[in-house]
Amino acid sequence: MLERFARGWGIAKASWSVLKLHPKLLILPVFSLVAFLALFGAIALSIYAGGVVRYSDGSPDGFNIEMNLDGPVAYAAFFGIYFVSAFIGIFFNAALVFCTLEALAGRAPSLRAGLATAVGRLPQILAWALVASTVGLLLNMLQNALRDRLGFIGSLLGGLL
């Protein structure tokens, strides 16, 4: 156990040293954040434009939200959002890992090369995003079912899974 902790700490220190030598690598997480914000902005805009959220004088905050979150359409929408979110995270992480490995190998990392490498691995990234989002959604559904049937204990069991 201590070996794993020491190895993880060593990797964290090496990563920090790469970041101090090449601060431009911070641009990749910023790109990822911008992509996430664009995704969630598009979702919010489509919900608002679709008439799901309406202004109402009768509600305490001035808005009336009418959403049906049960059913196949809702699960398909959740899966799509989860898939795109997973893809964004994996894509920019792949670019960052490539740049970090380049720096650790003694070569100057290039953001363009990192992004090009991630684009070159697009089929693998899409496949992994599909696996991650499918497993994540299934685990979420299982956790919700356990919570509904067993209450707090079911929520704990689902969280452990």
Q: Give the tens place of pLDDT for each residue, 80-92.
A: 999 999 999 999 9
pLDDT of 66 reads: 58
Contact 136, 82 (CB under 8 A): yes
* pLDDT tier at 69, thresholds 50, 70, 90: low
**Both tokens assigned to 48:** 């608002």
pLDDT of 127 reads: 97
pLDDT of 87 reads: 96
Q: pTM (2 decimals)?
A: 0.75
Contact 102, 113 (CB under 8 A): yes
Cβ neighbours for 150, distance < 8 A, ≥ 6 positions apart:
157
pLDDT of 148 reads: 84
% of the chain with per-residue pLDDT over 90: 38
pLDDT of 9 reads: 86
Tell me which H or E stretch contains 4: helix 2-21
C-alpha 99/C-alpha 110 separation (Å) is: 6
β partners of residue 54: 64
% of the chain with per-residue pLDDT over 70: 83
